[in-house]
A = this chain, B = another copy of it.
Amino acid sequence: MRVGILGGGQLARMLALAGHPLGLHVTVLDPGEAPCAAAVAGHIQADYEDMAALERLAAASDVVTYEFEQVPEAAVAALADRVAVHPRSEALGTGRDRLHEKSLFRELGIPTAGFAAVDSEADLESAVAEVGLPAVLKTRTMGYDGKGQEVLEGEGNVPGAWERLGRVPLILEAMVAFDREVSLVGVRGSDGDCRFYPVAENVHRDGILRESFPRPGDPAQVAAEANARTLLERLDYVGVIALEMFQAGDRLLANEMAPRVHNSGHWTIEGAETSQFANHMRGVCGLPLGTTEAVGGSAMINLIGELPPTNAVLAAPGAHLHLYDKGPRRGRKLGHITVRADDAERLRERIQGLSAALG
């Protein structure tokens, strides 16, 4: 089968790497000259709005998927006229817009922090009254890795915030004093089969994911799966989805969903029987899904901005280096490391060994 992917970054690269053993042929559409997925896939260099290029992608593909949710709606619509697109455009539209996302969670009974739409300066006042402070004011679309948002600690931060975020549609979300951030990566096949990886505990700094620790057998698993399953079924979803949640006490609050493979699931390449990338490809191609069980214990560390001494990483027992073949740049995801071991104690030792190696 032939799979088209909108976007040619590291997620597309890892999807393509997982696709080859399945006999899949991948073409990415990406405006860059040499996006990192192009080393392992065909590449159509074009803007996402380029209708002729989208037609070429459709002609080269039996199914099209994407590696980011900010894909223009018109592009997906144009593709969907010509070829199967998974996940479907409703999921994409939901994942693209924080208000749609949160509203869907609310509609489905998936608990969230309080939120309110902000479409004007006046709205902001009433939203603050409704949601309370502290709260986070976020652009509804195009935000990622902590971009496009501002924390409103108190009333003093409210004036000018509408202005500072660019007078665009916003959402105000109550700030949650959470104990931890967790995410659940799940996958749904075209036959409705749903499978879930163990929840991962995530550590963000400066709004960017730094580390993920899968927690097989975590008490949050059952509730997290129930939330994700509701979402997958409601959206008649096909492929991998990620649901990010805050845990506060025993409350699990859905924060956002990503209608695609997700950074907090990178550990699945070595740490699970079937990786999220292989399962996304299986799902969108209508193939049976693979086993999502953890294989021992693992931990994922993002490499951001610059690379550590890679030889030290490679020498660390059980460490798996994944480079994305991208040049260094502040805040840029250049790669990740997964450390794996058969049991928790050995994993701890290996993480310590790696930390020492990273200096």
Contact = CB atoms under 8 A, between A and B. Distances in A.
A352 interface: no
Nearest to A25: B39
A304 interface: no
A322 B273 contact: no
A109 interface: no
A165 interface: no
Contacts of A321: 21-22
Say which size band chain A's interface belongs to: 20 to 34
Nearest to A288: B315
22 contacts: A13-B20, A17-B17, A20-B39, A21-B320, A22-B314, A22-B323, A23-B310, A23-B323, A23-B325, A39-B40, A273-B318, A282-B314, A287-B310, A287-B314, A288-B311, A288-B314, A288-B315, A290-B314, A290-B320, A291-B318, A295-B296, A296-B342
A21 B323 contact: yes
A342 B21 contact: no
A169 interface: no
A140 interface: no
Most buried by B among A17, A21, A295, A314: A21
Contacts of A325: 20, 23
